[in-house]
Chains A and B, each alone.
Chain A
Amino acid sequence: MSTLKPEINSQDHIQGDDSASITIVEFGDYQCPYCGDAYPIMKEIEETFGHQIKFIFRHFPLANAHEYAFPAAIAAEAAALQGKFWEMHDALYENQYRLNAELFDELAETIGLDLEQFQQDSASEEIKTIIEDNFDSGMRSGVNGTPSFYVNGTKFDGGAADLYQMLKESTE
């Protein structure tokens, strides 16, 4: 059974209640259509189960298959430096259908980032390292495609819809 390595730490982007009993980690790629399909379901999961769940996103860009996956992950991390990781995360998935190289600056402006700072941060080595560390974590945790989900540290064999179903049954 594959488990999450390393465990949740201060590097992670965490959404939801600290005291939540269920922790969900998604390894995702902003250009992957299956991740795009999973996005609204994850939102629904967060709404339905509220305080019971905590959601963490780690980057797993399939850079050879998806040319904008890595740049998109960079955009999310650059937004994180201005405290707006989740705003960029949402904007990327909501605009996945028109993902291209010009989109990142546009989204940065839409969510109210300091554009100059955003562009400067996007070029930094530190951000690249964060994404590579995320990818490394995915490989070691047994990620076998995107999206891959981990529930309380253990790999969940199924997609977002299966996850929703499982949570519904286990919280009833």
Chain B
Amino acid sequence: MLEKGATAPDFELNATPDQKIKLKDFKGKNVILAFYPADWSPVCSDQMALYNEMLKYFSKYDAQIFGVSVDSVWCHLAFEENRKLHFPLLADFEPKGAVSKAYGVYDEEVGESKRALFVIDKEGKIAWSYLSPVAVNPGADGILDALEELSKK
């Protein structure tokens, strides 16, 4: 797994069937990448639903959050609609898990991303990363601490 100080590997992933997100377009902004195993985990403890409630706190720190899993864009669309998510979910779908692998957070055995968080600074360097046990939703305190640290610089 990539650690603090490493350059965040660039990527280009679909957020919708006709919209691609390039990491390098977000230079000058803080970026949060939340890799997670799969869409459709149980509602109230769902990590993406949790971050959905926190978007205005993230934007206070000039940060954009992206969820990343190996689910397809169509699956992401249905999931976003169902949970009323207001931030992009990226499909690490083809070649499967390539971005997750580049960040060192792909689980080869189950064929899903691990549950991992990255905070990337405005220059595209990893400022903080965290690998959570798959069954444990890591919350947002680590992300907020990292963003706060960056805002002091």
Contacts and interface: CB of A to CB of B under 8 A. Distances in A.
Please say whether chains A and B are actual partners in one complex. Answer: yes
Interface of A: 2, 29, 32-35, 62-65, 135-136, 139-146, 157
Interface in B102-153: 136-142, 144
B89 to A, nearest CB: 15
Interface of B: 43-47, 49-50, 52-54, 57, 83-86, 136-142, 144
The 8 A-B pairs at the shortest CB distance, nearest first, are namely A145-B45, A144-B139, A144-B137, A142-B141, A142-B139, A34-B44, A139-B140, A32-B44
A168 to B, nearest CB: 24
A139 B44 contact: no
Contacts of B83: 64-65
B50 A144 contact: yes
A139 B54 contact: yes
A62 B44 contact: yes
Contact of A145 (B57, B137, B142): B137
A65 B141 contact: no
A58 B19 CA distance: 40
Given A2-B141, A142-B140, A145-B45, 19 more contacts: A2-B139, A32-B44, A34-B45, A35-B44, A62-B53, A63-B53, A64-B52, A64-B53, A64-B86, A65-B83, A136-B57, A139-B54, A139-B139, A142-B141, A143-B50, A144-B47, A144-B50, A145-B137, A146-B44
B83 to A, nearest CB: 7
A144 B45 contact: yes
Contacts of A64: 49, 52-53, 83-86
Nearest to A34: B44
Contacts of A146: 44-45
Nearest to A67: B84
Given A139-B54, A145-B44, A65 B49 contact: yes
B139 A143 contact: yes
Nearest to B57: A139
A65 B43 CA distance: 9
A66 to B, nearest CB: 9
Contact of A141 (B53, B84, B141): B141
A147 to B, nearest CB: 9
A131 to B, nearest CB: 12
A109 B49 CA distance: 34
A135 B44 CA distance: 15
Nearest to A2: B141
